[in-house]
């Protein structure tokens, strides 16, 4: 069975953030996710979840200075103390929101380096990433949470350290923590690698969360080059039990664009 979560950072932007929970529930979503909760108190978010009967399924750890262009801390050499604080803060919210999954964004490689310096930077980021993820997975395990890593396409996020599925699997295997899993975003995978159904089949044992969007515009799943009915049918046949996050930018009004989700319980 496909369980859809509304990504409230992208969907229902017709409403103020705390009103998006009601809009999502009204449209038939039973779960919600978003990028970052931190400008709101956990109490206000908890109330929005309770009042609307929806489950918090995912959010991201603090990513560093997002407004200044930072995209996560997990692989950044020299920022380990900040990363540890981010883990503690993220897990504090996860406890209050009863959220099973948190995503640790990897961060960006340095710009403008020559090939040799770039290779050295990559090595340093990799070592930092493994050490930080070991720490974070340990803390998440104590709190009963799953930690996720997500390959992101480098067209949307140039320089992002984690961009391919095989790189993510190598990291998961190197860290070797049961509660460290893959956030498999089919939009990013289609842009970088394609072959979505074979990727799903191969990666299933590692997957802790799935996200979808149309490609290439990141609009509704029924707009663009990916035939999502076939992909979601395969995902259900594989007996995937997790959530599918709807992480797309609606082409127009969110509710008007939900027709693609009728077969999965949504009400346009
Ligand atoms: O795919 C994405 O963009 C998100 O899932 C995310 O966490 C980082 O922006
Ligand atoms: Mg995503």
Question: What local confidence, expressed as pLDDT, does residue 112 receive?
Answer: 74
* Cα angle value 33/34/37 (rounded, 5°): 115
Atom 3, ligand 1: residue with shortest CA distance = 152
Question: What local confidence, expressed as pLDDT, does residue 6 receive?
Answer: 99
Has 33 been annotated as catalytic? no
Which is the closest atom of ligand 1 to the Cα of 35? 7
Has 150 been annotated as catalytic? yes
Atom 9, ligand 1: residue with shortest CA distance = 35
Among 152, 162, 181, 210, name the best residue to mutate to test ligand 1's pocket (greatest count of ligand atoms within 8 A of Cβ). Answer: 152
Query: 5 Cβ partners below 8 Å, 6+ apart?
Result: 29, 30, 31, 32, 33, 55, 57, 58, 243, 244, 245, 246
pLDDT tens profile 75-91? 999 999 999 999 999 99
Please tell me the distance from the alpha carbon of residue 177 to that of residue 145, in angstroms, as a whole number: 12
- Residue numbers of the chain with a pLDDT score lower than 50: none
**Encoding tokens for residue 172?**
């998961």
Query: 2 Cβ partners below 8 Å, 6+ apart?
Result: 232, 235, 236, 244, 264
Question: What local confidence, expressed as pLDDT, does residue 115 receive?
Answer: 76
35 C-alpha to ligand 1 centroid (Å): 7
Question: What local confidence, expressed as pLDDT, does residue 12 receive?
Answer: 98
Question: What local confidence, expressed as pLDDT, does residue 155 receive?
Answer: 98
Burial class from Cβ neighbours inside 10 Å (0-12, 13-18, 19+) for residue 94 reads buried
Which is the closest atom of ligand 1 to the Cα of 72? 8
DSSP per residue, 100-127: SEEE--B-BPPSS--HHHHHHHHHHHHH
Which is the closest atom of ligand 1 to the Cα of 245? 5
192 C-alpha to ligand 1 centroid (Å): 15
Atom 7, ligand 1: residue with shortest CA distance = 35
192 C-alpha to ligand 2 centroid (Å): 13
211 C-alpha to ligand 2 centroid (Å): 6
In the chain, % helix, strand, coil (3-state, to 5) comes to 45, 15, 40
Query: Which residue has tokens 């103020």?
Result: 16
Query: Which residue has tokens 């067209």?
Result: 155
Dihedral (CA of 134, 33, 95, 60) sign:
positive
29 C-alpha to ligand 2 centroid (Å): 18
Site residues for ligand 1, CB cut-off 6 Å:
35, 60, 103, 105, 150, 152, 185, 211, 247
- Catalytic residue (one of 150, 193, 201, 220): 150
Question: For residue 131, how far is the Cα from the chain centroid?
Answer: 21
Neighbours of 54 (CB within 10 A): 20
CATH 3.40.920.10 for domain 3-264, yes or no, is: no
Among 185, 188, 215, 249, name the best residue to mutate to test ligand 1's pocket (greatest count of ligand atoms within 8 A of Cβ). Answer: 185
Query: 252 Cβ partners below 8 Å, 6+ apart?
Result: none
pTM for the full predicted model: 0.98
Whether 247 contacts 7, CB under 8 Å: yes
Atom 4, ligand 1: residue with shortest CA distance = 35
What ipTM was reported for this prediction? 0.99
């Amino acid at each position: 069975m496909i369980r859809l979560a509304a990504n409230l950072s992208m969907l229902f932007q017709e409403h103020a953030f705390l009103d998006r929970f009601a809009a999502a529930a009204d449209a038939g979503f039973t779960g919600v996710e978003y990028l970052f909760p931190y400008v709101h108190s956990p109490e206000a978010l908890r109330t929005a979840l309770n009042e609307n009967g929806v489950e918090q399924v995912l959010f991201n750890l603090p990513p560093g200075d997002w407004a200044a262009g930072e995209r996560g801390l997990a692989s950044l050499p020299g920022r380990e103390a900040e990363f540890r604080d981010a883990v503690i803060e993220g897990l504090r919210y996860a406890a209050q929101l009863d959220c099973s999954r948190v995503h640790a964004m990897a961060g960006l490689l340095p710009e403008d380096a020559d090939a040799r310096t770039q290779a050295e930077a990559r090595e340093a980021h990799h070592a930092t990433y493994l050490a930080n993820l070991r720490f974070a997975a340990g803390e998440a395990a104590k709190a009963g949470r799953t930690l996720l890593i997500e390959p992101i396409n480098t067209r949307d996020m140039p320089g992002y350290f984690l961009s391919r599925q095989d790189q993510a699997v190598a990291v998961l295997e190197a860290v070797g923590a049961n509660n460290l899993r893959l956030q498999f975003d089919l939009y990013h995978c289609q842009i970088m690698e394609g072959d979505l159904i074979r990727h799903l089949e191969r990666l299933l044992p590692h997957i802790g969360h799935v996200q979808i969007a149309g490609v290439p515009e990141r609009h509704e799943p029924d707009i663009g080059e990916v035939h999502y009915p076939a992909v979601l049918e395969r995902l259900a046949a594989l007996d995937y039990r997790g959530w599918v996050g709807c992480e797309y930018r609606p082409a127009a009004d969110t509710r008007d664009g939900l027709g693609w989700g009728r077969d999965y319980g949504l009400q346009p």
